[in-house]
């Protein structure tokens, strides 16, 4: 499909989030030290909670998520990832993860061994700091999710979730005319927002009927950004890392 086999794997990394602070040299280093690039099928688990992890993964194409299971086997998504995101860079300092990492759609990923990252930390303070920064952006998003779950009702949560995805996808050039592909089931949205699938269905209908947004057939159309972002109390500052 894409004719970009020569595209650098770091092409989307930190786009719109301080990428300009990465030197050409640093990007090249990352590109040249990639261990592996590969494709994963949809709904494939890449890392399981508790596993010892020896590589870290950058998402090049597709959607991934991180989640935790409760006692009854229900999932709670704790993060969703779009192209350009390091999905488990935190595994480098942590060694083990407290959650699973999986694809939501077919995905293309690049990975670096932790030995390579070790060497970067030893020799490249500025690049190290940018990698650190990128894991902290994830933490900002986590905090916003806590806010979303703690203070917003079902409509607000879904509105906020969609607003976040719109801005994040926009940063990597994946939104056109307020429209973007989102290969998620309603049940996935429910798992991300702490709701049941049934209720997500009802809220989506309401948002559609009130002409705020449409989510259908794996595609989102933002119809009324102003009202939607107000409903979700959405302020995109947290996605940019305050730079």
Partner DNA sequence: CGCCCGCTTGAACAGTGTCAAGTGCTGTGG
Partner DNA sequence: CCACAGCACTTGACACTGTTCAAGCGGGCG
Summarize as ranges the residues that interact with its own copies (CB under 8 A). Answer: 50, 66, 68, 70-71, 74, 76, 78-79, 90, 93-99, 121-122, 125, 128-129, 132-133, 135-136, 138-140, 142-147, 149-152, 191, 193-194, 233, 237-238, 241-243
Residue 122 binding: pick among DNA, its own copies, none (C-beta 5-8 Å cut-off by kind): its own copies
4 contacts which partner out of DNA, its own copies, none, CB within 5 to 8 A by kind?
Answer: none
Q: State the residues that interact with DNA by CB under 7 A.
A: 153-155, 185-187, 194-199, 201-205, 216
36 touches which of its own copies, DNA, none (CB within 5 to 8 A by kind)?
A: none
Residue 163: partners with Cβ closer than 8 Å, 6 or more residues away: 225, 228, 229, 232, 234, 236
Pairing of strands 64-69, 107-113: unpaired
- Least distance between DNA and beta carbon 219 (Å): 11
Q: Token pair of 100, please?
A: 């699973």
CA distance from start to end of the chain = 35
**Least Cβ distance, residue 196 to its own copies (angstroms):** 11
Strand 64-69 relative to strand 75-81: parallel, antiparallel, unpaired? antiparallel
From DNA, its own copies, none, interface partner of 9 (C-beta below 5 to 8 A by class): none
Cβ partners under 8 Å of residue 200, min gap 6:
154, 158, 186, 187, 189, 190, 193
């Amino acid at each position: 499909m894409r004719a970009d086999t020569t595209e650098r794997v770091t092409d989307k990394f930190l786009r719109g989030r301080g990428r300009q602070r990465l030197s050409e040299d640093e990007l090249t280093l990352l590109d040249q030290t990639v261990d592996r690039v590969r494709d994963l099928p949809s709904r494939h688990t890449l890392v399981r909670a508790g596993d010892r992890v020896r590589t870290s993964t950058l998402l090049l194409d597709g959607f991934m998520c991180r989640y935790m299971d409760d006692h009854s086997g229900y999932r709670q998504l704790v993060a969703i990832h779009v192209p350009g995101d390091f999905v488990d860079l935190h595994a480098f300092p942590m060694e083990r993860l407290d959650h699973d990492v999986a694809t939501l759609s077919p995905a293309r990923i690049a990975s670096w061994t932790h030995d390579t990252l070790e060497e970067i930390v030893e020799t490249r303070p500025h690049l190290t700091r940018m990698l650190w920064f990128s894991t902290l952006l994830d933490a900002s998003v986590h905090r916003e999710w806590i806010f979303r779950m703690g203070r917003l009702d079902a409509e607000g949560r879904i509105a906020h979730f969609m607003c976040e995805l719109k801005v994040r996808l926009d940063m990597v050039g994946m939104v056109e005319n307020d429209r973007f592909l989102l290969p998620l089931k309603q049940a996935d949205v429910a798992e991300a927002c702490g709701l049941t699938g049934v209720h997500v269905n009802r809220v989506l209908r309401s948002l559609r009927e009130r002409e705020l947004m449409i989510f259908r057939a794996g595609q989102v159309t933002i119809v009324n950004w102003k009202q939607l972002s107000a409903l979700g109390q959405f302020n995109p500052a947290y996605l940019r890392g305050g730079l």
